[in-house]
Amino acid sequence: MTAAFARRTAPVAALGADADALAAACHAMARRFHRGGRLLAMGTGAAAADAAHVVVEFVHPVIMGKRALSAFGLPDGGSAATVALFGGAEDIALAFSPDGASPRLADALAEAARRGMLTVALLGGGADGSGGTMARAPGLDHAIVVPSTDTRVVREAHVTAYHVLWELVHVFLDAPEVLT
Contact footprint for another protein (CB under 8 A): 1-2, 4-5, 8-9, 12-13, 15-16, 19-20, 22-24, 26-27, 45-46, 48-50, 52-53, 56-57, 60, 62, 151-152, 155-156, 159-160, 163-164, 167-168, 171-172, 174-175, 177-178
Minimum distance, C-beta of residue 88 to another protein, in the bound complex (Å): 26
Three-class SS state of 146: coil
Q: In this complex, which beta carbon is closest to another protein, that of residue 107 or of residue 156?
A: 156
Task: Choose between 3 and 127: whose C-beta lies nearer to another protein.
Answer: 3
Least CB distance from residue 1 to another protein, whole Å?
5
Q: Which is nearer to another protein, 7 or 136 (CB)?
A: 7
Q: What angle, rounded to 10 degrees, do the helices at 151-173 and 2-17 form?
A: 40
Rounded Cα gap, residues 140 and 131, in angstroms? 12
CA distances from 107 to 16, 22, 131, 132, 175 (A): 29, 23, 16, 14, 34
In contact, 124 and 146? CB cutoff 8 Å: yes
Least CB distance from residue 113 to another protein, whole Å? 23
d(CA 83, CA 108): 6
- Cα separation of 7 and 130, whole Å? 18
Identity of the residue, 80 or 148, whose beta carbon is nearer to another protein in the bound complex: 148
Q: Work out how close the CB of 128 gets to another protein at its nearest, in angstroms, rounded to a whole number.
A: 21
Smallest distance, Å, CB 175 to another protein? 4
Instruction: State how far the alpha carbon of 5 is from the alpha carbons of 62, 128, 156, in Å.
Output: 27, 21, 11
Task: Identify which of residues 2 and 128 has a Cβ nearer to another protein in the complex.
Answer: 2
d(CA 110, CA 66): 32
